[in-house]
Structures are given as C-alpha cells and as structure tokens.
Amino acid sequence: MFPTTGQGGSQSLEDVGALGVLLSNIQHKAALPDILQIYEKLRKERMTVIQGTSGITFGTEDTFARERPWHIINAAGIKSGEEHLKFLYQ
C-alpha cells in the first residue's frame, strides 16, 4: 500500500477490532484455529481490495477499471472516488 493513503495504520486498527470481536467470546483455546481461519478470510478479502486499489487516484477509478478488466477493482465494484472512499471507510 502506498503510505500516502494512511491505510497501513487504518488497517491495523481494523485488524485489532476484528480480532477483538472474534476472540471476545472464546470458550476454549481449542477453538482458536477455527477463529483465526475466520479472521483470515474476513480480513484477506478486504485487504486484497485495499492493497490493490491503494495506488489509484481518487476520481480515476472508472477509467482505471476499464483499462484493466482483470484488476480487483472490477470485482469490488468500485467505479468512482465516492465509492472508493465508502469502501475504505465503511
């Protein structure tokens, strides 16, 4: 991720929040591997999009997506700067 978006710090806070929720009701340490798999799935999907779109200038998403049909931005459905911001800060 480019440092100019501040997403490294933001994503670390999301990581902490997700782990806090998932681990808050753990009954036994044997459940930990399953909980961590859930955590990985939740965070990996979101982080893939955030990392993949970190270098895209806000407002150029539609053009960027049309020129790169294989890019993750298309799977995420981000077509504008407004949608990009909503995805980042939802």
Polymer length in residues for the chain: 90
Distance CA 59, CA 82 (A): 8
- Which pLDDT tens digit goes with each residue over 37-88? 999 999 999 999 988 898 898 899 999 999 999 999 999 999 999 999 899 8
**32 Cα distance to chain centroid:** 22
- Is the Cβ–Cβ distance between 26 and 35 less than 8 Å? yes
pTM above threshold 0.85: no
Q: How far apart are CA 4 and CA 6, in angstroms?
A: 6
